[in-house]
Amino acid sequence: MKKIKVLISEEKINNRLDELANQIMDEYKGKDIVFLCILKGSIFFTVELAKRIKNNIQFEFVEVSSYENNESTGKVKLNKDITQSIEGKEVIIIEDIVDTGRTLAFLKELLLEKKPASLKICSLLDKPSRRIANVKADYIGFAIEDKFVVGYGLDDEQNLRNLNYIGYIEE
């Protein structure tokens, strides 16, 4: 059995989500928002953040893959595209973690072609030391060091997504 250590507790996540929600409500006063959730890692973050926001939110989902055996392959593949137009809409991409940044660089380019009124990025986690592509999230939950993390949506080969905290696997 792999041993999981707590990196960020549920309580800390909840407090930070309250802050992020307030910041987004401040900046999107009176506006409808589209939350563009990147499957599968961002589902927990998307739902928990959205529940704290009073604006009307529409949801869209994309699925991309770049990881095989917990290693970034460098090539990003779109497995599932959005189903409704985002033209003229205020879109926030909701991501679980920005690692090399390749996923978001790829998605940003793809989504800008669909002409949203605005396009921002909100990521629960950020690993700035791993960045290869030149992208920055507009809203970040926590910056973390270069550790492979699981829980709150993040997986270890599809497992451990449903932990209610963010942990790392002890070697």
- Contact (CB, 8 A) for 78 and 164: no
| Gap between the Cα atoms of 120 and 53, Å rounded | 16
Q: By the 8 A CB rule, do 160 and 44 touch?
A: no
* Smallest distance, ligand IMP to C-beta of residue 90, A: 22
Q: Which two tokens stand for residue 40?
A: 């599968």
Which of 10, 39, 57, 66 is close enough to bind ligand IMP by CB under 6 A?
A: 66
Site for ligand IMP in 127-156 (CB under 6 A): 148-149, 154-155
The count of residues interacting with ligand IMP (CB under 6 A) is 17
Among 50, 53, 60, 103, binds ligand IMP (CB under 6 A): 103
Instruction: Give the 3-state DSSP-derived string for 86-114, with helices as H, strands as E and coil as C.
Output: CCCCEEEEEEEEECCCHHHHHHHHHHHCC
Residue 18 annotated as catalytic: no
Strands 71-80 and 57-68: antiparallel
- Scanning 4-12, 29-37, 50-58, 97-105 for contacts with ligand IMP by CB under 6 A, the matching segment is 97-105
Contact track, ligand IMP, 34-63, x by CB under 6 A: -------x----------------------
Q: How far is CA 112 from CA 81, 97, 116, 123, in A?
A: 14, 20, 7, 18
138 binds, among Mg ion, ligand IMP, none (CB under 5 to 8 A by kind): none
Amino acid at 20: L
- Choice between 84 and 129, CB closer to ligand IMP: 129
Among 24, 41, 93, 120, binds Mg ion (CB under 5 A): 41
The dihedral over CA atoms of 154, 45, 136, 143, expressed in degrees to the nearest 10, equals -70
| Min separation Cβ 67 and ligand IMP, Å | 5
Catalytic residues: 99
Applying CB under 6 A, the residues found at the interface with ligand IMP are 41, 66-67, 72, 95-103, 148-149, 154-155
